[in-house]
Amino acid sequence: MILTVTLNPAIDRTLTVPNFQRGQRHRATSGLPLAGGKGINISRALKALGVPSIATGLTGGQTGMRIVERLTAEGILNDFVRIADESRTTTAVVDPTSGSYTEIKEWGPAVRPDELGFLRDKVEYLSRSADVVVIAGSLPRDVADSFYAELIHDLNRRNVATYLDCEGEALRLGVEAEPTLASISQQDAESLVGQEFHDDEDYELALEQISALGAKNALISTEDGCIALLREDRVAHRFRVVAPRVEPVSTVGAGDVLLAGFLAARAAGKAPEETLRLAVAASTASTLELGAGILDPREAGRLQPATEVVELQPATEATV
């Protein structure tokens, strides 16, 4: 069982607007409302891949009720903590003509200390029957940047595997708390290590820096796949994974599906190379669909043989 934790979930509305232009009046050709937030997207993708999960986090107001209702309608197990303030709504505009998308995100609710305490208790209780806890997404207002790091410390003390996917100062502090794996976009990884990436050497150096900060394993998602540092029996392996070329409908949530695919493959006991091949194929398949976390597993299976996995350099003895 995998537990996903989303502190700042939302109702995500994806609108398809051909020839979208600023300052003009448009009529959307389609609209797709979903319960969203990184952890929820991961749970949705895990369900598509046949892996059980429970989604938890914070929900408030009428929007929070809609989030829970939509998750239940999708058959995604969930157990959220109710808060007083209203959960957020986000909107993504996809232009199929240009292939662009525009996201508008609300800040999210203000959260009281006692509500955070209830969430800590919920995570502690649900994690007793979980193999992995995934902590993902942005923090709502009035929540300290150190909150994810504190959760990771608590879970580590109980020997629960922790996967982290966030950004900014919460990412830096969370990585220093020594999660089992940090899943990071290229942009956030560049901010974390303080330099842009141009070639494999830059990526390898970044993986080493992220590992030195505390993460036992790391995934950096890229435009064409991912770069990874994975430890097996105290041996560190570094991989570049390149996805087959497709014509994407939307890339929103592709990083979330990358992590879900990785989790699904690990749950099935796959070797590192096959784990990464499945993860990137699933992520690529998700770009052919509208809606974060949505993918066709058959399409992911079709893309796997064309997904290239290369070990960057000889494996080295791990220092952690």
How far does CA 259 lie from the centroid of its chain? 6
What does each C-alpha distance from 107 to 71, 140, 171, 223, 240 come to in angstroms?
A: 21, 7, 18, 27, 35
CA distance 207 to 216: 10
Identify the pLDDT of residue 252: 86
For residue 74, the 8-state DSSP code is H
Please tell me whether residue 136 adopts helix, strand or coil conformation: strand
Please tell me whether residue 273 adopts helix, strand or coil conformation: helix
Closest by CA to 301, choosing from 283, 275, 278, 280, is 278
Identify the pLDDT of residue 97: 79
CA distance 91 to 13: 5
CA distance 37 to 11: 8
Strand ranges inside 61-168, DSSP E: 81-83, 88-95, 100-105, 132-136, 161-165
Per-residue pLDDT of the chain (320 residues; tens, 9 = 90+): 999 999 999 999 888 888 888 787 888 877 788 999 999 999 999 999 999 999 999 999 999 999 999 999 999 999 999 999 999 999 888 887 787 778 888 888 999 999 999 999 999 999 999 999 999 999 999 999 999 999 999 999 999 999 999 999 999 999 999 999 999 999 999 999 999 999 889 999 999 999 999 999 999 999 999 999 999 888 899 999 999 999 988 888 999 999 999 999 999 999 999 999 999 999 999 999 988 999 999 999 999 999 999 998 765 555 44
Can you read off the two tokens belonging to residue 267? 């749950």
Can you read off the two tokens belonging to residue 68? 């829970």
Kind and range of the H or E element at 188? Answer: helix 186-193
Q: Is 11 left (phi over 0), alpha (psi -120 to 50) or beta?
A: beta
CA distance 232 to 216: 11
Strand ranges inside the chain, DSSP E: 2-6, 10-16, 30-36, 53-60, 81-83, 88-95, 100-105, 132-136, 161-165, 181-185, 218-222, 225-232, 235-242, 308-311, 316-317
How far does CA 194 lie from the centroid of its chain? 22
Residues in the chain: 320
Those residues with Cβ within 8 angstroms of residue 171's Cβ, 6 or more apart along the chain or in another chain: 164, 182, 184, 188, 192
CA distance 44 to 160: 22
Identify the pLDDT of residue 320: 46
Answer for the pair 171, 183: CB distance below 8 angstroms, yes or no: no
Closest by CA to 221, choosing from 237, 206, 201, is 206
What does each C-alpha distance from 78 to 49, 70, 93, 126, 140 come to in angstroms?
A: 17, 11, 28, 10, 19
The CATH number of 1-143 is 3.40.1190.20
Domain ranges of the chain: 1-143
270 by Cβ neighbours in 10 Å (0-12 / 13-18 / 19+) ranks as middle
Identify the pLDDT of residue 316: 59
CB neighbours of residue 290 within 10 Å? 18
